[in-house]
Amino acid sequence: DIVMTQSPDSLAVSLGERATINCKSSQNVLYSSNNKNYLAWYQQKPGQPPKMLIYWASTRQSGVPDRFSGSGSGTDFTLTITSLQADDVAVYYCQQYYYNVLTFGQGTKVEIK
């Protein structure tokens, strides 16, 4: 299976500051035929299901605030939250959908410092 490794496991950021979460895939998730990275990011708040934020590594889902952005290609990806808001406290997961077994990262917990 493709292993998705996120770092850090948790981080505390002051309100209004930037939060950066990394996700590394054990294998490439860039499909050369369409030049798309098969990588999504989710936000999960306590007691709620995950919510898709980003797909194709950098495309925001409709309705997602533009303070959320995704970047990276191949095996290394980043989710950035610029100007962290109290409502952004959650666990964030990356997921690859390139390979036959869909796999998620272990999650990164974002808290307010």
Partner 1 sequence: QVQLQESGPGLVKPSETLSLTCAVSGYSISSGYYWGWIRQPPGKGLEWIGSIYHSGSTFYNPSLRSRVTISVDTSNYQFSLKLTSVTAADTAVYYCARHSGLSGGWNDAFNIWGQGTMITVSS
Q: Which residues bind partner 1 (CB under 8 A)?
A: 1, 38, 40, 48-52, 55-56, 61, 93, 95, 97-107
CB of 83 to partner 1, least distance (A): 25
- Give 13 or 39: the residue with its C-beta nearer to partner 1: 39
- Give 16 or 49: the residue with its C-beta nearer to partner 1: 49
CB of 67 to partner 1, least distance (A): 20
Q: Which two tokens stand for residue 45?
A: 């708040």
**Close Cβ partners of 51 (under 8 Å, ≥ 6 residues apart):** 42, 43, 44, 45
Alpha-carbon separation of residue 71 from 38, 42, 101 (angstroms): 12, 14, 23
3-class DSSP state of 66: coil
CB of 97 to partner 1, least distance (A): 5
